[in-house]
Amino acid sequence: MKLVDSHIHLDFPVFSEDRESLLAKAESAGIARFVVPATTRDSWLGIQQLSHEYQALCVAYGIHPYFITHHTLKDCEALESWIQTHPCVAIGEIGLDYFLKGLDPLLQMDIFKAQLNIAKRHNLPVILHARKAIDEVTRELKKTGLKQGIVHSFNGSEVQAKRLIDMGFKLGFGGALTYSRATRLQALVKCLPLAAICLETDAPDQPSSGFAGKRNEPIALIEILETVAKLRNTSTEEIARHTWDNTCSVFPGICYHTHY
């Protein structure tokens, strides 16, 4: 059984002391690939260096909406220059966040659009953050004409999900599924086509049930896998096979790469 974590922030300082042992534990459990998206311009170099240190890591570069106040459109110009000399599997993590207070929605939109256009010009998929902004993100994807990517930590409606799936996008699900109160999200995972589902931890964030307030770790992907299998009344092997194929279809080559 092989698994891929489609969204994990292994470059974060909270992993500095034990990153190697955490990855070894995860890989011994069958987690063979980890997609690591950037959050800020300052994070690009560290992620690139990690990808050379750990062969299982695949990287994406972008500017996360949380950190928009530290960036301008000139950073998007820098992003386009960076990816031309530093190969990556996607542009990400990019998107819109209308939940967190204090983020300028106009600046968010400008930087999001600029990054979508970079992905389009370079024929790259996108890793999307869409918090309280799924319809707005979907609208911009349609305008740009992008048809490949993952909407990370999806928490929208079935109608919103199907609209994105019909456009060619996959949906990422993680630790939120493991909470007993997440009945709407669990019902969604039961009914979606398996071909649309990807697994993620978003570690160190979004820990599973029973670990609230603690650091999320790569090995948590196993519990997420088991939760999806139980919800869909199928085997973990079946879910692993499909989600591996799904993620590889978004990021061609990650299952065979030497490094990014």
Beginning with the edge strand found earlier in the chain, give each strand of the sheet holding 57-61 in spatial order.
3-5, 31-37, 57-61, 90-97, 126-131, 149-151, 170-173, 197-199
Is residue 244 in a domain?
A: yes
Taking CA atoms, 30 is separated from 127, 192, 218, in Å, by: 23, 25, 11
What pLDDT does 256 receive? 62
Q: What is the mean pLDDT of the chain?
A: 96
pLDDT, tens digit (0-9, with 9 covering 90-100), for 30-42: 999 999 999 999 9
Is residue 11 in a domain?
A: yes
- Quote the number of domains for the chain: 1
Are 123 and 163 a contacting pair, CB within 8 Å? no
**What whole-number distance in Å separates Cα of residue 59 and Cα of residue 196?**
21
Is residue 59 in a domain?
A: yes
In angstroms and rounded to an integer, the radius of gyration of the C-alpha atoms of the chain is: 17
CA 4 to the chain's CA centroid: 11
Is residue 256 in a domain?
A: no
Q: pLDDT tens for the chain, 260 residues: list them.
A: 899 999 999 999 999 999 999 999 999 999 999 999 999 999 999 999 999 999 999 999 999 999 999 899 999 999 999 999 999 999 999 999 999 898 999 999 999 999 999 999 999 999 999 999 999 999 999 999 999 999 999 999 999 999 999 999 999 999 999 999 999 999 999 999 999 999 999 999 999 999 999 999 999 999 999 999 999 999 999 999 999 999 999 998 776 654 44
Q: What angle do CA 150, 151, 156 make, to 5 degrees?
A: 145
Is residue 240 in a domain?
A: yes
Q: Where are the beta strands (DSSP E) in the chain?
A: 3-5, 31-37, 57-61, 90-97, 126-131, 149-151, 170-173, 197-199
CATH number of domain containing 136? 3.20.20.140
Q: How many CB atoms lie within 10 A of CB 173?
A: 25
Is residue 103 in a domain?
A: yes
Residue-range definition of the domain harbouring residue 19: 3-250
**What whole-number distance in Å separates Cα of residue 153 and Cα of residue 151?**
7
What pLDDT does 255 receive? 67
Is residue 93 in a domain?
A: yes
Which pair of structure tokens corresponds to residue 245? 């194929």
Is residue 225 in a domain?
A: yes
Are 112 and 94 a contacting pair, CB within 8 Å? yes
The model carries a pTM of 0.96
What pLDDT does 259 receive? 44
What pLDDT does 260 receive? 40
